[in-house]
Amino acid sequence: MSGSCGTEGRVQEKWRAVPPGGFGLLPWLLLGMGAFSHLFQGTTANPWIGGAGLLVFNSLYVFLAFSTHPCRRDALSTRVALALLAAVTCALAIGYGGSWLLFFPLLGLATGVVLRGRRLRVTAVAVTVVAGVVSCVHDGWGALGILYATAVSTVVTATILRLAETVRELRAAREELAQRAVQEERLRFSRDLHDLLGHTMSVIVVKSEAARRLAPRDLDAALAQVTDIESVGRQALTEIREAVTGYRDGSLDTELDRARSALTAAGVTPVVRRSGPPPGPRTEVLLSWVVREAVTNVVRHSAAGRCEITVTTTPERVRLTITDDGDGARGTDTDGTGLHGLTERLAAAGGTLRTGVGGDGEAEGDDASRAGFTLTAELPADAADSTGTPAAAPEPVAAGARPGPADRAKAPV
């Protein structure tokens, strides 16, 4: 066996929790009671030699009976003990015959405990042949019973122990799968919380600052921002509850509307374009996550004045592109939990997520020299609406009187 025996602590603990197979093999030593009784009756020649052989045989058999663990079974000491048991069995059977021939089935039991695979097949045949030859010399046709018992004991013992090992391995595998399922659920929940709370908190902060700035000069606009904050907070509570239960669904149209509102409140001009049929439910949920995370990063890190969101759907693929005309920086979040989690989500659904510096915005003046940032997500459209009705492309939404990029850049993150 490989060197993993020394490192599989948890697996060994599981093995120890199972009753040792050796206890089930000890009663078969009663087959040697005939030879034992002959020793006390004085009908055995050289009783001291026979007694010593019987003691050695029983000791080796008990040792091998408790060698069912894979690590012990493959140890050199176990193989040496099996070889010694075979030698003692042959010596006692050849020297005494009669009841001593019953040690061959016990040797078959020990062989079935220790060996597996090709070694078991070769050794089982060899032990059976030797048992048949030695028994034939002593008992003639009576050797058939010993030959049959030896063959059956070897095969049946190996089969039963192998089945027991398989059951224990399946139990261990089931426990490992359960642990992995728990880990996957924790990872899912952490991703959902990051995406939900990161976006929601950013929107609330931006809208709160907008309300504070607007309150002295435009109370109605400030109240509108406060109303939006209340709506965002209530929606966040609902989404968190749904994320906990694992049944959160996302609407791309709803997420695009939220993106417009968040970008406008942050002083970024949103431009949303859609073409082609609406994507299927699963694809729409994933695209909603991408829009949420990307817009959060634009608001928090880009210092952009314009953000374009384009959704293009074909019968085979759906592409979402989000481009801004900011400075191309995303802080540490670009390589952090958010985009990394999105990449894993899309990869699991057969999609891709690419990011890079370089925008195609239409900024003018000083903003035209900005590097910009582009995020592109592609997913299969296998769940697209079978009606093929194209979705209406919303007109570009221009921002009204809102705080500009210079004011928004001072907002705490």
Report the percent of the chain where pLDDT is more than 90. 8
How would you label 105-135 residue by residue, b for 16+ Cβ within 10 Å and e otherwise? Answer: bbbbbbbbbbbbeeebeebbeebbebbbebb
Whether 336 and 287 have beta carbons less than 8 Å apart is answered as: no
Q: Which two tokens stand for residue 307?
A: 């953000």
Q: Which two tokens stand for residue 21?
A: 């197979």
pLDDT over 80 (residue 81):
yes
pLDDT digits (tens, 9 = 90+) for 337-378: 667 778 888 888 888 999 888 654 443 444 444 568 899 999
Angle subtended at Cα 137 by Cα 134 and Cα 143, rounded to the nearest 5 degrees: 70
Alpha carbon 393 to its chain centroid, in Å, reads 41
What totals of helices (H) and strands (E) does the chain contain, helices first? 14, 5
- Which of residues 107 and 29 earns the better pLDDT score? 107
pLDDT digits (tens, 9 = 90+) for 222-270: 888 888 888 888 877 777 776 665 455 557 888 888 888 888 888 889 9
Whether 343 and 353 have beta carbons less than 8 Å apart is answered as: yes
* Structure confidence at residue 333 as a pLDDT band (50, 70, 90): very low
pLDDT reported for residue 169:
86
In Å, the largest CA–CA distance within the chain is 120
Whether 132 and 105 have beta carbons less than 8 Å apart is answered as: no
Radius of gyration (Cα) for the chain, nearest Å?
39
Cβ contacts of 150 within 8 Å, gap of 6 or more: 104, 105, 107, 108, 127, 128, 131, 132
pLDDT over 80 (residue 105):
yes
* Residue 267, burial from CB neighbour count under 10 angstroms (0-12, 13-18, 19+): buried
pLDDT over 90 (residue 321):
yes
Average pLDDT, the chain: 76
Q: What is the DSSP pairing of strand 269-275 with strand 352-357?
A: unpaired
H or E segment and range at residue 309: strand 306-313
Length of the chain: 413
pLDDT reported for residue 335:
47
Alpha helices, H only, 140-249? 143-214, 219-245
Whether 258 and 288 have beta carbons less than 8 Å apart is answered as: no
* Structure confidence at residue 72 as a pLDDT band (50, 70, 90): confident
Q: Which two tokens stand for residue 239?
A: 């989404």
Q: What is the average pLDDT across 77-82?
A: 89
pLDDT reported for residue 319:
93
pLDDT reported for residue 310:
94
Highest mean pLDDT among 118-122, 195-199, 328-332: 118-122
Query: CB-side exposure of 92: number of CA atoms within 13 Å?
Result: 32
pLDDT reported for residue 235:
78
pLDDT digits (tens, 9 = 90+) for 267-284: 889 999 998 888 888 888
pLDDT digits (tens, 9 = 90+) for 207-228: 888 888 888 888 888 888 888 8
Which has the closest alpha carbon to 30: 60, 58, 64?
58
* Structure confidence at residue 87 as a pLDDT band (50, 70, 90): very high
Which has the closest alpha carbon to 313: 273, 278, 352?
278
β-strand partners of 323: 308, 374
* pTM, entire model: 0.44
Which has the closest alpha carbon to 211: 235, 238, 180, 232?
232
pLDDT reported for residue 273:
92
Phi, psi of 399 (to 5 degrees): -80, 145
* Amino acid at site 387: T
Alpha helices, H only, 42-142? 47-65, 70-73, 76-96, 103-114, 117-139
- Alpha carbon distance, N-terminus to C-terminus of the chain: 56
Q: What is the average pLDDT across 282-304?
A: 85
Q: What is the average pLDDT across 325-345?
A: 66
Helix (H, G, I), strand (E, B) or coil at 155: helix
d(CA 278, CA 311): 9
pLDDT reported for residue 370:
52
